[in-house]
Amino acid sequence: MEVSKEEFLRQFGGDYGYPGAPKGVDEMRAAEFKRLEGMAYLDHAGATLYSEAQMADVLKDLASNVYGNPHSQSDSSMAASDLVTAARHQVLKYFNASPREYKCIFTSGATAALKLVGECFPWSRESCYMYTMENHNSVLGIREYALSKGATVLAVDVEEGADLAKDNGSHSLYKISRRTNQRRSKDVLSHNCQNGSLSDISGNNWNIFAFPSECNFSGQKFSLSLVKLIKEGKIPLQQQGKWMVLIDAAKGCATEPPNLTVYPADFVVCSFYKIFGYPTGLGALIVKNEAANLLNKTYFSGGTVAASIADIDFVQKRKNIEQVLEDGTISFLNIASLRHGFKIIEMLTTSAIERHTTSLATYVRNKMLDLKHSNEINVCTIYGQQYSKVEGLKMGPTITFNLKREDGSWFGYREVEKLASLFGIHLRTGCFCNPGACAKYLGLSHSDLVSNFEAGHVCWDDNDIINGKPTGAVRISFGYMSTFEDAEKFLKFLQSSFVSLPVQFNNGYMLNLNSLNLIDNSSQKAVSDIHLKSITIYPVKSCQGFSVKSWPLTTGGLMYDREWLLQGSGGEILTQKKVPELGSIRTLIDLELGKLFIESPTRRDKLQLSLLESLADLSEEVDVFGQRYEVQSYDDRVNTWFSEAIGRKGDCKQKLPVDAMRFRPNLVISGSSPYSEDNWKKLRIGEACFTSMGGCNRCQMINLHQDSGQVLKSKEPLATLASYRRKKGKILFGILLNYEDIMEGENETIAGRWLQVGQQVYPSTE
């Protein structure tokens, strides 16, 4: 596992780091990506990063020039038009597409480009839309247009032959396996569908075959020779008519854009933030002239017409295909920024970027496959290359995987993602909007997918394991500024978090105390009895609490505890995870006065709220973590006070002591052995009885530390707890108690009970 950078360079030095470029990767990273210090950004498949020099050039350009709406002939409009024209040529050059044969249509992104094709393509009942299983939802979405016109839709698996290295253009190197036909037309003749495939249908119809240049799920690269083979009819698709090929290059074009001179696809889509980080919200459809002439756009708008009359049915669209397909004023300032992004790509060259990122991915992939538990069970299951029978199948700089425990069960991908964030590692989890590849590689059947949905699983949720099977995966991906240190940081994270096998407690938790500095500010001496050491009340969720010697109990537990919460202007519930500054707001309740006092280091005045005031006229319903509750709200005076009380947080790199209050407990108990509460089922404090609801799942909120009014953020103590207090994806510390306000054998609620510091505690494990 411990391989030095020198050894890595001996294996990959010819490809890693841009040895022939004006700047090497280390120099570039230090100068242009200082914001990445201390972290490893490994989600370049989601969005790569912009450089400081790139943004400085954009700012200088926009600050020095006047660019107007290009739908005019003023000087500023012509300046913008010239930049747009130059940008179109630069995009075509990037894909080695001749301006005589291709057009560049600017869109809001790859998805919008795909939607444009689906919307404007001449679908008919005789058409077929065929796409590979490994495709993004944005490609699948085109089928809605095809199906609405009665066309047949078909998903296929493309298997490349084992002799791919000797590819001479023969269709025998590819096997296409068809899935079930999809059709919505009610009057489709039965003889058109025989044995799961299509019979020949006569007529001059148009069809589309769609595939990604690189699968955004697995990183597998599809051979672009499919373009010619399909267009020339050398791969029998059992559907007559003209076949056009669409390539989704959103993922692949960042490291290996399709060469359209060699592989003349009809449609190619891309998003520029995937290539050089900025601008977002801008993409392109690169379309062959023949295909562009087929696209028929129904809607017309500003910029798309030569003439129109408001009160009669008269409109003449422009002849220029770019103007016809680009609705309204294009994003000309973003388009003006493209040249500054391409500048660094041209300096490094795409071939060098491809070699650099591939070297990192290959190194990490091999190291991951070597990871084993002590019983020789593999830790990592990697999707893509190892699932193929083709030796030497080309893979992009993407690794998608799941992790197994020593007993063969799966770690959930959300557990991996949460732990990665503690280590400063940015990655992505889920199915990445690629349901076909996800189901294929995870072995999920149609019934699995439906039952998972019925069980409540939707995209981006925390349901990562259902019925013992993963519902998604973890993905890392490298970009042009990724370094060996990023790769090594990730591998060390896997080793320390998922491979090491510490000694076990008898309660099932792993033991590895490491450097966690738990301190007891009150006493260091051992006590033989178990008693209540402290009581803390937190009236406002995520704000500071206050300690008391005694406090009354009510039906819901401790009176007034977490009875108030803050709601953002967008309706979201505010917590320290989102607004760390809440931790500097202090609270105190005076039961005799019947008032809640709130103060902040950023406000001179204290806020006072009556506990007895009725707010019935200000009641409303809010969503609190997925549940609807009727609440009472306050007026603008209170809202304004909290808005102004929120300050700023800071980052902390020093080691900070961790006391019990960091965990925001209501009750602290002394006299028992560490973690004995894990096994408690019930406990009695004085005359009050409680039932354990299980361990308390901890989040990054316990990493926030208050210091002289500043909120400091570090990765401790959660990172250390994660090393030995993980159970089924949760990091547990302390337990949740439910107050049993109705005693066994009694029918009425017991009121007037108080907890008091020093009371004896009687736990039960039965």
- Catalytic annotation, residues: 433
Instruction: Name the E strands within 437-504.
Output: 465-466, 469-470, 473-477, 503-504
- List beta partners, residue 425: 40
State how far the Cα of 540 lies from the Cα of 565, in Å rounded to an integer.
5
Judge whether 103 and 289 are in contact, CB under 8 Å.
yes
Give 588's DSSP letter: E
Backbone angles phi, psi at 299, to 5 degrees: -75, 145
CB count within 10 Å of CB 84 equals 21
d(CA 44, CA 691): 47
Structure tokens at 433: 């909007």
- Give CA separation, 259 vs 255, 286, 565, in Å: 12, 12, 56
280: nearest Cα among 430, 60, 55, 39: 55
Residues paired with residue 224 on neighbouring β-strands, in sequence order: none
Burial string for 663-686 (b: 16+ CB within 10 Å, else e) reads bbbbbbbbeeeebebbebebbebb
CA gap 534, 550 in Å, rounded: 9
- Of the candidates 297, 424, 443, the residue with the CA atom closest to the CA atom of residue 39: 424
How many Å apart are CA 201 and CA 196, to the nearest integer?
15
Q: Please name the amino acid found at residue 439.
A: A
Number of Cβ atoms within 10 Å of the Cβ of 199:
13
| 598 three-state secondary structure | strand
* Alpha carbon of residue 569 to chain centroid: 24
31: Cβ contacts below 8 Å, ≥ 6 apart? 23, 52, 53
Cis bond before residue 539 (omega within 30° of 0): no
